[in-house]
Amino acid sequence: MNVHAPALAEAHRFDGPISAFGRDVIENLSQAPKRLSPKYFYDSAGSELFEQITLLPEYYPTRTELTILRDRGRAISAIIPKGAALVEFGAGATTKVRLLLDQCALGAYVPVDISGDFLQAQADALRADYPNLNVYPVTADFTAPFDLPEAVRAMPKVGFFPGSTLGNFEPHEALGFLRSARNILGKDARMVIGVDLEKDERVLYDAYNDSAGITARFNLNVLHRINRELGGDFDVGAFVHRAIYNRDRHRIEMHLISKKALTAQVLGKQFSFRPGESIHTENSYKYSIDRFMALARSAGWQPLESWTDAAGMFSVHALVASD
């Protein structure tokens, strides 16, 4: 029990507007079943844990996508017009974009991410390594409309959305995101997007239940973040990580399960948990090539080309905005 909670909650209750994070947490934990948005995993501790996940033997998506971007880099770069502005949605570490930067004559790179500090640090590192590249970082929630920097308005636009982050969206949200990206990028825009594919459930299960327990720490970190930033008093040790594959919905589901009956307060609001009760923290949808292409078409994009690794674990698609 966090002895300071009452004072913190009291202190927090009225000192100005509650953050979007605070509002969303209160709203989502007030729902049945309880849930939290996966976008709140990515404070600096969470972004670091995710970087560790990408290096895990069980977590195949990142290295498989990197293999495709390396092996098919020339073909992928060929769809990117000379002097284009590459707009990366949810730009975490810049490992992947560097593979394109080495093969394209870009006019500018526009990384967009919610964790401003991490973004700025990555942008500075890029400027150091690519002195002729114009880098315009945009701190924004890419799931909502945002403005592109004035400097790139006249350039051809290419969206870049790697890592299968699309998988976090519910099907209707994925459609909404692809439509919104089409509007932000404009007419004749192109998009390069990474999409994780359906596969053997054991492989999927292991990728989200790694033996080192990093994914568990990544999942639990959102409760630590609530305690850190919202004066919460979650007994984090009383929760366990669970990731399962929901075959009917084609998705990995991540949950935090309370081991016992307990209460937790956030910004002065009390939440009670039954033994075994879940907080649903993430969905990671897995697609077939056909199902993804159908989604892209219904969002106003025309599939140009798609590439997979030899084992068909992951896919990268090139799309063009249909008139």
Q: Which residues bind ligand AVJ (CB under 6 A)?
A: 53, 61, 163-165, 167-168, 208, 215, 282, 284
**Phi and psi of 269, rounded to 5°?**
-100, 130
For residue 147, give both structure tokens: 């403005």
Cβ proximity to ligand AVJ, 265 vs 278, nearer residue: 278
Distance from the Cα of residue 129 to its chain's centroid: 25
Cβ 317 to ligand AVJ shortest distance, Å: 15
Q: How far apart are CA 109 and CA 121, in angstroms?
A: 15
Burial 100-133 (b: 16+ CB within 10 A, else e): bbebbebbbbbbbbbbeebbeebbeebeeebeee
Query: Is the CB of 215 or the CB of 221 nearer to ligand AVJ?
Result: 215
β-sheet bridge partners, residue 161: 193
Whichever of 96 and 190 has its CB closer to ligand AVJ, that residue is 96
Least gap, CB of 17 to ligand AVJ (angstroms): 29
CB nearer to ligand AVJ: give 168 or 221: 168
Residue 282 CB, nearest distance to ligand AVJ (Å)?
6
Distance CA 315, CA 193 (A): 8
67-70 — which CB contacts under 8 Å span 24+ positions?
Answer: 67/309, 68/307, 68/308, 68/309, 68/314, 68/315, 68/316, 69/96, 69/99, 69/100, 69/162, 69/316, 70/99
CB 245 to ligand AVJ: min, Å: 12
- Tell me the closest approach of the beta carbon of residue 61 to ligand AVJ, in angstroms: 6
Q: Which is nearer to ligand AVJ, 22 or 61 (CB)?
A: 61
Q: Which is nearer to ligand AVJ, 262 or 295 (CB)?
A: 295
**Residue whose CB is less far from ligand AVJ, 61 or 137:** 61
The minimum distance between CB 198 and ligand AVJ, in angstroms, equals 14
**2 or 95: CB nearest ligand AVJ:** 95
- Minimum separation from the CB atom of position 215 to ligand AVJ (A): 5
Cβ-closest residue to ligand AVJ? 284
Tokens, residue 144: 């909502």
Minimum distance from residue 82 beta carbon to ligand AVJ (Å): 30
